[in-house]
């Protein structure tokens, strides 16, 4: 599948964007007339959720990443895609979509009883963008700084080269529109769009660099502890871009809206007041397990306290994408 703007091909295999020129645009290209379907066996209907690149779906392009998780009342034993056993475990299974229809079969059993602990986290996020004279751009967000090389194309455009550090290099264009700089970072897995972040900075004369419009992120985390000593860590969240009008504004859901999405699962062990979580770490582009992570918490009354700022939890905080803060999970009735 491909698209062109006025005869110029656009980069991308799954999602496209372009800067509107000062004139008419003609979009041409080819589309896929057939997309393979995903069918859930009757015995599994209502017990599992199928997501294509994080979104519920019953169709997928060839090569797409398809992930299956159980609904809260059930636990997956094993799953098959057209009789081929899926990779996965601890409630998270996946496969790569072939060029033909897929039927999902397998064994799903009622979930063991669990205790659920939840915690709500709010933090403000701002950032800055600095063009350095040595051909680099420094992007500061979440208290961390990334340096990206750039080349000035003209007065209003810069070409950025981003090296993610694991063999993935991305080249994109930063456009300046008056006192505003806006650019989009797209991350592709196996040729398909995995996520897209849009950054917008405005000129801050006081500090002589571009500053990001502040926004607030509210995330709700939940830990479910099952009787078989397995656990699920889930998240939902909302992002509100500021400044907000009196009375606040509406939030955009992050990773699930009203639904909790599993972000990691594994096993736990309780020793006195210490609870140790063990979970696999997956490679982003293949889904293969590349290591084992641990996260240590303290049980006090009806709370589980996880201090992600502790050295013992530093690796887990990085793997899970948490900021280095203390999270207190309160047990739900």
- The single residue listed with the structure tokens 């405005």 is 202
Helix (H) or strand (E) holding 92: strand 92-96
* Residue boundaries of the structural domains of the chain: 38-111, 116-122+217-331, 127-213
Starting from the edge strand earliest in sequence, which strands make up the sheet with 8-9, in order?
8-9, 2-5, 27-30
Comparing 117 with 288, the larger pLDDT belongs to: 117
Cα distance between residue 233 and residue 50, in whole Å = 18
Q: How far is CA 97 from the centre of its chain?
A: 20
- Overall CATH class of domain 116-122+217-331: mainly beta
Comparing 324 with 287, the larger pLDDT belongs to: 324
Q: Are β-strands 65-70 and 2-5 bridged in parallel, bridged antiparallel, or unpaired?
A: unpaired
Count how many Cα atoms sit within 13 Å of the Cα of residue 7 in the half-sphere of its side chain. 0
Cβ atoms 188, 14 nearer than 8 A: yes
Over residues 30-54, the pLDDT tens digits come to 766 678 899 999 999 888 888 887 6
Question: How is the chain split among helix, strand and coil, in percent rounded to 5?
Answer: 5, 60, 35
| Whether residue 247 has pLDDT greater than 50 | no
Over residues 262-301, the pLDDT tens digits come to 677 889 999 999 999 998 776 545 556 667 888 999 999 8
DSSP reduced 3-state for 129: strand
Over residues 58-74, the pLDDT tens digits come to 888 887 888 888 876 78
Comparing 104 with 124, the larger pLDDT belongs to: 104
């Amino acid at each position: 599948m491909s698209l062109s703007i006025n005869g110029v091909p656009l980069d991308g295999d799954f999602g496209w964007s372009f800067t509107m020129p000062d004139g008419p645009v003609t979009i041409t290209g080819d589309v896929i007339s057939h997309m393979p379907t995903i069918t859930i066996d009757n015995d599994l209907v209502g017990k599992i959720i199928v997501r294509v690149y994080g979104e519920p779906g019953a169709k997928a392009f060839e090569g797409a990443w398809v992930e299956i998780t159980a609904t809260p009342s059930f636990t997956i034993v094993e799953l098959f895609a057209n009789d081929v056993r899926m990779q996965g475990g601890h409630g998270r299974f996946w496969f790569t979509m072939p060029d033909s229809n897929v039927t999902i079969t397998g064994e799903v059993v009622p979930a063991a009883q669990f205790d659920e602990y939840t915690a709500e986290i709010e933090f403000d996020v701002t950032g800055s963008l600095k063009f350095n004279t040595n051909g680099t751009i420094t992007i500061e967000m979440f208290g961390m700084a990334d340096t990206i090389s750039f080349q000035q194309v003209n007065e209003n455009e810069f070409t950025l080269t981003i090296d993610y550090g694991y063999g993935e290099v991305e080249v994109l264009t930063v456009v300046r529109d008056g006192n505003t700089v806006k650019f989009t970072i797209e991350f592709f897995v196996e040729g398909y769009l995995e996520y897209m972040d849009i950054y917008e900075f405005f000129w801050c004369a006081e500090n002589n660099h571009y500053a990001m419009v502040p926004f607030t992120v509210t995330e709700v985390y939940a830990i479910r502890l099952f009787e078989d000593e397995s656990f699920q860590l889930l998240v939902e969240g909302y992002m509100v871009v500021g400044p907000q009008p009196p009375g606040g504004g509406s939030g955009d859901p992050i990773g699930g809206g009203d639904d909790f999405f599993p972000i990691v699962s594994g096993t736990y062990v309780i020793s006195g007041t210490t609870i140790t979580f063990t979970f696999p770490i997956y490679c982003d582009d293949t889904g293969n397990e590349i290591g084992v992570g641990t996260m240590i918490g303290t049980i006090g009354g009806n709370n589980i306290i996880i201090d992600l700022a502790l050295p013992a939890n530093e690796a887990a905080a990085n793997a899970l994408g948490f900021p280095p803060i203390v999270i207190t999970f309160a047990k739900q009735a």
